[in-house]
Amino acid sequence: MSDFEQPSLFDSPDGPKRRKTGGRKASRPAAAAAPAPSAAPEAVPAVPADDKDLGDGPLHRLMDSNFLEYASYVIRDRAIPEIEDGLKPVQRRILYSLNQNDDGRFIKVANIVGYTMQFHPHGDASIGDALVTLVNRGYLIEGQGNFGNIHTGDPAAAARYIECRLTDLAATQLFNDDLTEFIPSYDGRKKEPVVLPAKLPLLLMLGAEGIAVGLSTRILPHNFGELLQAQVAILQKKPFTLLPDFPQGALMDAREYDEGRGKVRLRAVIDQKDEATLVIRELPYGVTTESLINSIEDAAKKGKIKTKAIRDYTAGKVEIEIALAPGTGIPQTIQSLYAFTQCEVSASLRPIVIREQRPVELSVHDILRHNTRRLVDLLRKELQIERKKIDEALQAASLVRLFILHRIYKRIEECRTSAAVKQAILDGLAPFRDQLRRDITGADLDMLLAIPIRRISLYDLNKSRKEEDDLLADFAAVEKHLTDVTGYTVRYLKNLYRDYADLHPRRTRVESFDTIEMRELTAKEHNLSLDREKGYLGYGDIGGDPLFPCSSYDKLILVWDDCRYRVIPPPEKLFVDQNLIYAAIYNRDRVMTLVYESDRITHMKRFTFGGVIQNKDYTCAPEGAPAKALFFADDQPATLYVKYAPRKGQQIHQQEFEPKKVAVRTPKTRGIQMTTKKVTAITTQKPRNWEAKAGPKGALLH
């Protein structure tokens, strides 16, 4: 029974069986008899939620089993590449289909998609997309026609209008039926390879991205020539370094690459055309001209970049012109483009591959070491197969020479049976057994009997001797290679580098980027104002009194007279009412001084705001009784001059207090009691009507 033919959990064991439809036509089911009248069905009692068997019932086990099978299938057979050949199943099937149909000429993509569907059970869209991606990588498949544009993101033309074929690199380095294990395709009609015997580090050449159940992978593409050089270094036990390389070019800071497990920062290449124009020549990996222009326009709308026009002349190469507004500085604009647009992006990486049917996380160095060990093993097997083929060719050449030279074919003229014919040949070759590579088999005899008379009459002994000598020389060369497979692999890689590395030069330049301080670039982006009469705060057109400049990356701290405070991003226009007493750029460590009245007692406190959540109201007075702020400042005054309301019998009408005597605490602390008198004014400068001898210095009650 297949995974898709599970018996119903609600059918009785004696219920109707599933109808089989193995042939082209299914037999028509007999008409069902009318059901006999029956009483109303009995109500089935509900299963209690706390039933101990509920979590281990048949449905639960079925769901667990099916989910695990599905998750395993998505991970191994769709999303995550295999470390052995570096390919996802759809890529492997496309390349195998191209090889099966390869005659050196271009083939319609629609034909290849259709042929691949014999092996791939997920429809033509995924096959077509994967094929276009392989063509645009440039290593394995050569395209003819419109395969889209990696710079603009434009899609490829319809599959019936474009053609492709294997490159010479793919045709010579990916396939060998003698080294390939085949399994039945999904419907059992065809055979497909488990993995290709690829001699190239395809996973690191092409890169990979995939999302599966519970995990994802992202591996960046690397330079072909540098990978071959690194493999040589591995075989020679020398140190090596691997860094990504992208077909789009651009700039890369790989200081945090961490062998493929960290991240890289990528920047566009920006040139200055003249004093008022910048030109973007290369894009970061994964960025298109459309998405880049949209990000520049968004930054311009927010006032982060001052532009006059953006013109896109991209065709075969990227060319985006940015006309700057008059008076705009070129260096600062370039820094702003990197800070606020997709001219700079970062890519976080996680190299997960399938190894021995399980997903594992490996560094790119580990992946390349595995590829190199596999290359050595493949070349050893190829040499062993080649040695066997040469040995068989030598055996056949020796048999033919002896058969014709010593006229053994004459012995079969009087034979009347097949057995007698073969025995006559064996008897004729018996004196020459020491000249053969092995014992004579039935296949050898069939080969001799299939020699045409014309070949016997035109047989050239000298030519035959030369062919045998050439075969012996080839055999000796293979034997020599097998004694030093590592050295043979090094020479093999160097030959590959010589033949193909110049076709794939490094396009991405490696540099170290300076960190851009966004606050510095936007230090005067907004000018904050407060309309005290209407109660509005913001950088928009609200009128009122100007407060201070700020940037979009600043946070504002607002304090009201009821001791509430809130941290917000700079608003364009926000109603804060008329009771706002303090607004500034938020600094969690700045020491504040507060005098407030609560329950007819005046307290003084010093505190820092510390960490807060944006747009959430806090209080800098103890929770409970209402509080009213009488004095609030973001510094430490040397002296506070306090005036009291006059009352009958009150002798003290003013006092001086020193805030430095109050310890710095958190906003929720009560603070130090100053007085129970009614406070009418608090200043940091001595008032004109201050009476020098009107009262003692104030004491803070701890």
SS3 545: strand
- Compute the C-alpha angle 220/223/226, nearest 5°: 125
Q: Whole-angstrom Cα distance, residue 488 to residue 566?
A: 72
Tokens representing residue 264 in the block: 């890289």
* Alpha carbon distance 696, 692 (integer Å): 9
Spatial separation of the C-alpha atoms in residues 698 and 406, rounded to whole Å: 134
How many residues belong to the chain? 702
Tokens of 125: 């869209």
Tokens of 589: 């460590």
161 is annotated as an active-site residue:
yes
Give alpha helix (H) positions in 512-593. 518-521
**How far, in Å, CA of 559 to CA of 580, rounded?**
6
Packed helices 364-405 and 442-449: angle between N→C axes, nearest 10 degrees:
60
Joined tokens for residue 689? 């009507």
The answer to whether 254 and 264 are in contact (CB under 8 A) is yes
As a whole number of angstroms, the distance between CA 191 and CA 483 comes to: 35
Rounded to an integer, what distance in angstroms lies between the CA atom of residue 407 and that of residue 403? 6
Residue whose token pair is 């049976």 = 417
The DSSP secondary-structure symbol of 503 reads G
Q: 516 in helix, strand or coil?
A: coil
User: Which ranges of 188-245 does DSSP label H, i.e. alpha helix?
Assistant: 202-206, 224-235
Cα atoms in the Cβ-side hemisphere of radius 13 Å centred on 323: 5
Question: Which segments within 25-117 are labelled E, that is strand?
Answer: 107-108
d(CA 449, CA 510): 67
Cα–Cα distances (Å) from 466 to 225, 293, 438, 444, 470, in that order, read 40, 69, 21, 21, 6
Q: Which amino acid is at 595?
A: V
Among candidate residues 161, 313, 582, 641, the one labeled active-site is 161
Distance CA 392, CA 396 (A): 6
User: Which residues are paired to 643 by β-bridges?
Assistant: 654, 681
Q: What's 365-376 look like in SS3?
A: HHHHHHHHHHHH
If we measure between CA atoms, which residue out of 668, 520, 544 comes closest to residue 596? Answer: 668
Task: Give the tokens for residue 244.
Answer: 């990504």
Residue 149 burial (10 A CB sphere; 0-12, 13-18, 19+): middle
Tell me if 592 sits within 8 A of 632, measured CB to CB.
Answer: yes
Cα 559 to its chain centre, rounded Å, is 45
Contact by Cβ (8 Å): 243, 258: no
Beta partners for 596? 603, 629
| Helix, strand, coil abundance in the chain, percent, nearest 5 | 35, 20, 45
CA gap 104, 106 in Å, rounded:
7
Nearest-CA neighbor of 350 among 337, 339, 361? 361
**Token pair for residue 281?**
């020549």
Active-site residue numbers? 161
